[in-house]
């Protein structure tokens, strides 16, 4: 492994001191490394930034790279998972944030990057989701993500009314804050906080978790990964409902809209170095 793109969350490394340490470490160990620094004002860039270190076209660079190294937290990993998946490149995260459930290493583990350069790692595939919003038969929004697609209300003053389907067969009606359709990777995120089950991340399932439903019988569903799920916004004031994918606002919904979610052809490939089991990580990270 000798060609690496380093992506930094500027809010987690405002001086870029750690980023420069990582780049220096990689280059000293014989790797070609470039930096992708999104949303960083030019005036905040260090004056001593090595010439040629910045990557002007990260997607083009990644198509011939061996690794996308993310410095930040789970949000940084989620945001960049789509780029890595499109390019077929594995990801490795160094946690500079709080939870770091998807990231593999902590800041003090930088020296373990030598193991990656030597090929001493495994790769774990994680299922992703495709989503599409249909309005009057026309597609108004589409894309894919790693954790979850959420149909949610914008305002706390109004409930939204939804119907969920699996392979075009009605599952249930829901009235409340909305519904989460998650992957196993996303089962330990928003879905878990809403009362959904924890699912081993290498499984291939779809999790349907209602949020604050006005019913004693509204329960989460765990579906087979090949199910084609959909959610219809039955009633909700225009502009009061939205679709969020991996925490990012993707689309404002209108009454009658159908949100289709299914297993994606893309996968997120995560570099694994530690010998911890998934159960160890859950106990450690979630107490």
Q: What DSSP character marks residue 82?
A: H
Spatial CB neighbours of 178, under 8 Å, sequence gap ≥ 6: 150, 151, 152, 153, 160, 162, 210, 211, 241
Tokens 């090929």 belong to: 119
Q: What DSSP character marks residue 54?
A: B
Q: Which two tokens stand for residue 22?
A: 């990582």
Spatial CB neighbours of 43, under 8 Å, sequence gap ≥ 6: none
Q: Catalytic: which of 57, 66, 74, 246? A: 74
Q: Which two tokens stand for residue 56?
A: 């002007």
Tokens 């998650």 belong to: 182
Q: In angstroms, rounded to a whole number, what is the distance separating the alpha carbons of residues 14 and 134?
A: 41
- Cα separations in angstroms, 36 against 52, 57, 100, 234: 12, 8, 20, 42
109 part of the active site: no
Q: What DSSP character marks residue 120?
A: -
Phi, psi for 52 (deg, rounded to 5):
80, 5
Spatial CB neighbours of 111, under 8 Å, sequence gap ≥ 6: 25
The DSSP string of 233-278 is EEE--TTSEEEEETTEEEEEE-TT-EEEEEEEEEEEEEEE-----H
Catalytic residues: 74
């Amino acid at each position: 492994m000798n060609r690496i793109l380093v992506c930094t969350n500027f809010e987690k490394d405002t001086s870029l001191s750690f980023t420069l340490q990582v780049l220096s470490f990689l280059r000293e160990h014989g790797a070609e490394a470039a930096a992708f620094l999104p949303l960083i004002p030019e005036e905040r860039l260090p004056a001593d930034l090595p010439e040629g270190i910045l990557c002007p076209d990260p997607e083009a660079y990644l198509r011939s790279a061996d690794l996308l190294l993310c410095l930040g937290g789970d949000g940084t990993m989620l945001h960049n998972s789509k780029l890595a998946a499109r390019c077929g490149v594995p990801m490795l995260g160094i946690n500079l944030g709080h939870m770091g459930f998807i990231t593999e290493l902590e800041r003090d583990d930088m020296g373990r990057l030598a193991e990656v350069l030597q090929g001493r790692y495994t790769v774990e595939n994680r299922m992703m989701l495709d989503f599409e919003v249909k309005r009057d038969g026309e597609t108004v929004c589409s894309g894919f993500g790693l954790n979850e697609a959420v149909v949610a209300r914008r305002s706390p003053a109004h409930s939204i009314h939804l119907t969920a389907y699996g392979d075009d067969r009605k599952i249930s009606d829901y009235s409340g804050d909305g519904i989460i359709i998650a992957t196993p990777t996303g089962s330990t995120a928003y879905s878990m906080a809403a009362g959904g089950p924890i699912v081993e991340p290498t499984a291939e399932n779809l999790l349907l978790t209602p949020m604050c439903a006005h019913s004693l019988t509204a329960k989460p569903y765990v579906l087979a990964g090949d199910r084609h799920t959909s959610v219809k916004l039955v009633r909700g004031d225009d502009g009061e409902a939205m679709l969020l994918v991996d925490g990012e606002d993707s689309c404002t919904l209108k009454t009658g809209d159908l949100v289709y979610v299914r297993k994606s052809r893309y996968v997120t490939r995560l570099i694994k170095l530690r010998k911890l089991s998934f159960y160890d990580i859950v106990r450690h990270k979630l107490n």
